[in-house]
Amino acid sequence: MEGVVPEFEVRNATEADLPAIVEIYNQSVPGGWSTADTKPVTVADRIGWFRNFDPAKRPIWVAEIDGQIVAWTSLSSFYAGRPAYDATAEISLYIGTAYHRRGIGRDLKRWVIEQCPRLGITTLLSMYFDHNDATARINESLGFEQCGHLRDIAVVQGQKRGLIIAALRIPAPEPA
């Protein structure tokens, strides 16, 4: 099925989705490609995190195929939510390992970009490990520009890793 992008539905996450969100997130821990967590998290660990999101401004969305959550994405406020950065958000995106390499990441990130104007976001940041070539390719294809590289800032699975900061400028919506 590689190369075929399955159709998925995107909706606001609910607290009932948290077990699936945590399961998908934890699938990324052993690979060391997309999270700085070094051990799995629990649903209890994430309840406060989940409740800090606001569907109207900083949402968490889940992507479903045939009613099953296969991926999730969220927008977080940049720099501890200081007001001067209200129009800047950081994207996080995780895909269940059974659904990797099917184009879901690119399509879901494109979908999030399309939502940014209605959320008042004019700058979308993507922060990812410098050895994560898949995210680098997706970001480049969607127009993100690398604007920072913090070398050797993390130790993942015994390896020093850097963090890439990439930005995408979102045009303001046209007046109606």
pLDDT tens digits, 4-47? 456 899 999 999 999 999 999 999 887 777 778 779 899 999 99
Output the pLDDT for position 162: 96
Where are the alpha helices (H) located in 3-103, listed in sequence order? 18-27, 43-51
Our count of domains for the chain comes to 1
pTM: 0.90
Distance CA 114, CA 61 (A): 13
Output the pLDDT for position 176: 67
pLDDT tens digits, 109-125? 999 999 999 999 999 99
Domain assignment of residue 13, given as a range = 9-169
Q: Which residue has the higher pLDDT, 75 or 156?
A: 75
CATH number for the domain harbouring residue 67: 3.40.630.30
Distance CA 35, CA 113 (A): 21
Q: Beta strand 60-65 with 9-12: parallel, antiparallel or unpaired?
A: antiparallel
Percent of the chain with pLDDT over 70: 94
Distance CA 4, CA 50 (A): 32
The 10 Å Cβ neighbour count of residue 9 is 10
Residue 73 lies in a domain: yes
